Each structure stands twice: as structure tokens, then as C-alpha cells.
């Protein structure tokens, strides 16, 4: 995703020296100010925990919710979890950074 927003082409190859990363292009590599959403897999534990502990609430901010990585949220919802998602910013290529609120009733 970073390379898509910065128009820098980067390739990785295995070589006799191990893994190598090559930057392709003539322009200099400049620092970027980026926000990287949190990993949805890391958030899964906290979401599941808040879903099963009675009277619990949790608010996770900045979780990347790419639909291909969050099927567990649909499973928890089908099992009765009260999970609310609020869009806070659109990220490149339809990846979304969102707030996730989980409430487990008594």
C-alpha cells in the first residue's frame, strides 16, 4: 500500500545473498508522513475477548478493516456479538481505517 501511494516501485527477490529488496526508479526516496492502520489480526483477540466477557466494552481506534481480513467479525456478529464499526477515513485501494466498538451485555 505504501508503494501504491508514493509511486515507488519496489521488488523483493531471493538471491544467493538472502532476501534482497530493490528500488526501481530514478527519483530520490523521500520520507513520507503516513498513517498505517492497525492490524486486524492483532485486534481480533481483543474483539473476541470483549464479545464474551459480560458487561464489557472496548473501543479500538485505527484498525484497518480490509474485508478480506475481517471475516471473524461477521462470525462473532452471527454468534450474537454487538460489534459496531464507524468509518473514520478512507485509505488507498478501499482499505479503511475505522473505530471498532464492542459491547457484551450481561
pLDDT class of 1 with cuts at 50, 70, 90: very low
Residues 7-26 have a mean pLDDT of 62
The CA R_g of the chain, rounded to the nearest whole Å, is 18
Domain segments of the chain as ranges: 40-104
Cell of 88: 473514520
pLDDT of residue 85: 83
- Mean model confidence pLDDT for the chain: 71
For the chain, give the longest Cα–Cα distance: 60
SS (H, E, C) 31-49: CCCCCCCECHHHHHHHHHH
**pLDDT mean over 18-41:** 66
pLDDT in tens, 50-69: 888 888 888 887 787 777 88
Q: What is the pLDDT of residue 2?
A: 47
CA atoms of 95 and 68, how far apart (whole Å): 10
What's the pTM value of the predicted model, to 2 decimals? 0.55
Beta bridge partners of 21: 12
Distance CA 23, CA 12 (A): 9
Question: 71-103, pLDDT tens digit by residue?
Answer: 888 899 899 888 888 776 655 554 555 566 666
Amino acid at each position: 500500500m505504501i508503494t501504491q501511494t508514493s509511486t515507488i516501485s519496489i521488488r523483493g527477490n531471493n538471491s544467493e545473498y538472502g532476501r534482497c529488496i530493490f528500488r526501481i526508479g530514478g527519483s530520490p526516496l523521500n520520507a513520507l508522513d503516513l498513517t498505517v492502520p492497525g492490524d486486524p489480526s492483532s485486534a481480533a483477540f481483543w474483539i473476541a475477548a470483549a464479545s464474551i466477557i459480560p458487561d464489557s466494552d472496548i473501543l479500538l481506534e485505527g484498525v484497518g478493516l480490509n474485508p478480506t481480513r475481517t471475516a471473524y467479525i461477521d462470525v462473532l456478529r452471527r454468534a450474537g456479538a454487538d460489534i459496531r464499526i464507524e468509518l473514520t477515513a478512507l485509505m488507498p485501494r478501499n482499505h479503511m481505517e475505522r473505530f471498532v466498538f464492542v459491547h457484551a451485555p450481561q
